[in-house]
Amino acid sequence: MKKFNHQIGVGGLVLSDYEKQLANEVLDSNHLTYGPMTKRFEQEFAKSHKVKHALFMNSGTSALHVALAALKDRHGWSDGDEIIVPAVTFVATANIVLHNNMTPVFVDVEPDTFNIDPQKIEEKITGRTRAIIPVHLLGLPATMQPVLEMAEKYRLEVIEDSAECMFAKYKGGSVGSMGVIGCFSTYLAHFIVTGVGGLATTNNSELAVDMRSLMNHGRDGIYLSATDDKGLNGQTLEEVVARRFSFIHVGHSMRCTELEAAIGVGQLAKSKKIIKRRQEIAATFTQGLEEFENRIQLPTCPPDRTHSFMLYGIVLKKESKRKLVNHLEHLNVETRDLLPLINQPIYKRLYGNLEDKYPVAKHINESGFYIGCHPYMNDEEVGFVIEAFKNFFQNN
């Protein structure tokens, strides 16, 4: 089989005229830092996920970082306290626990959804457990109800890592609105793409102020952005002037610009189209690959939730993925390992060989990978990907 004439990537982007128009509006305004476009993006995103607040910042990792930092600070959690994370996820989920001087505790995942297995959480809870971070991997919401029940039973907080999932529903609830804080990413290959970017969502106004402060050097909530003193008069102006250089947290610089927000507003406007095309491509893949189900496990979506198909995950049932992945890559079909964490060199260095304690994660690490199903793929590319699989299974 001849390789495709260009790489069929896990992500893509074709900017629309509307997105370019919004970006040009920002350029014409000569205002690049936090301003009307970011506020608009935040409001529209919050509304679309049925939450009160959305904070746009420079990455999903930053959103997760300030989410945990805000909770740690507000509850007075100690260094070394434990945060439960799935054993299969992007490294950032666990990294931010370490960056907050806390301890990630891994829980194995469900073999069908690849998300945290709620049945395995309780055995990991100790007197120092403070929160659970379920991850909605590849666009599929985690099995949230038992996670939320467990959190309530043990008085734990829940931060949803929804970096890979937007607009999906679980039992009618929007991702990012079920835990106390939800975190999203708009980086390359994500559901919507703004270059770099992330959002933290919450219905808790105090936490929203804390997170806004933490992403802005720990500033006093009275002055969180460079325009917060504009148009003020009298006593209010004097109070803002007195407190605007006051820092109440050890904060970070995690801001984004109006340009990313402009792309975000434009992408949000076409979110229905994006989800439709993603689901259409995923259905075509499944239809084309079903005949090989004795060898590969294809994505599932339990009936109590919807799948936004940020990516299309595949796990080989009884063999290592290497040969198939190399075959696809040689044909110009891009792949990625399905979010290995506990076998990564840095996590092995920190915690030793954990894989035998996490059999599902171990199997996914050995045999799981994903391909793209993004809306910028055309039918020819989708058809080629299916043919590339067929070619492999017919010859191996």
In whole angstroms, the minimum distance from the beta carbon of 394 to ligand PLP comes to 33
Choice from 34, 45, 90, 223 touching ligand PLP (CB under 6 A): 90
In whole angstroms, the minimum distance from the beta carbon of 193 to ligand PLP comes to 10
Give the residue with the Cβ less far from ligand PLP, 187 or 376: 187
In whole angstroms, the minimum distance from the beta carbon of 371 to ligand PLP comes to 15
Give the residue with the Cβ less far from ligand PLP, 104 or 223: 104
In whole angstroms, the minimum distance from the beta carbon of 285 to ligand PLP comes to 20
217 vs 253: CA distance, rounded Å: 6
Q: Candidates 108-116, 159-167, 209-217, 298-306 — which segment interacts with ligand PLP by CB under 6 A?
A: 159-167
Give the residue with the Cβ less far from ligand PLP, 188 or 386: 188
In whole angstroms, the minimum distance from the beta carbon of 159 to ligand PLP comes to 11
Asked if residue 93 binds ligand PLP (CB under 6 A), the reply is yes
Asked if residue 92 binds ligand PLP (CB under 6 A), the reply is yes
Asked if residue 297 binds ligand PLP (CB under 6 A), the reply is no
Choice from 46, 125, 135, 200 touching ligand PLP (CB under 6 A): 135
In whole angstroms, the minimum distance from the beta carbon of 339 to ligand PLP comes to 7
Choice from 82, 161, 258, 381 touching ligand PLP (CB under 6 A): 161
107 vs 226: CA distance, rounded Å: 42
Give the residue with the Cβ less far from ligand PLP, 42 or 161: 161
Asked if residue 61 binds ligand PLP (CB under 6 A), the reply is yes
Q: Candidates 77-85, 158-166, 276-284, 362-370 — which segment interacts with ligand PLP by CB under 6 A?
A: 158-166
277 vs 284: CA distance, rounded Å: 10
Give the residue with the Cβ less far from ligand PLP, 89 or 213: 89
**3-state helix/strand/coil string of the chain:** CCCCCCCECCCCCCCCHHHHHHHHHHHHHCCCCCCHHHHHHHHHHHHHCCCCEEEEECEHHHHHHHHHHHHHHHHCCCCCCEEEEECECCHHHHHHHHHCCCEEEEECECCCCCCECHHHCHHHCCCCEEEECCECHHHCCCCHHHHHHHHHHCCCEEEEECCCCCCCEECCEECCCCCCEEEEECECCCCCCCECEEEEEECCHHHHHHHHHHCECCECCCCCCCCCCCCCCHHHHHHHHHHCCCECCCCCECCCCHHHHHHHHHHHHCHHHHHHHHHHHHHHHHHHHHHHCCCEECCCCCCCECCCCCEEEEEECCCCCHHHHHHHHHCCECCEECCECCCCHHHHHHHCCCHHHCHHHHHHHHHEEEEECCCCCCHHHHHHHHHHHHHHHHHC
In whole angstroms, the minimum distance from the beta carbon of 356 to ligand PLP comes to 24
Choice from 104, 176, 198, 266 touching ligand PLP (CB under 6 A): 198
Asked if residue 201 binds ligand PLP (CB under 6 A), the reply is no
Structure tokens at 288: 């084309």
Asked if residue 160 binds ligand PLP (CB under 6 A), the reply is no
Asked if residue 86 binds ligand PLP (CB under 6 A), the reply is no
Binding site for ligand PLP (CB under 6 A): 59-61, 89-90, 92-93, 135, 161, 163-164, 185, 187, 198
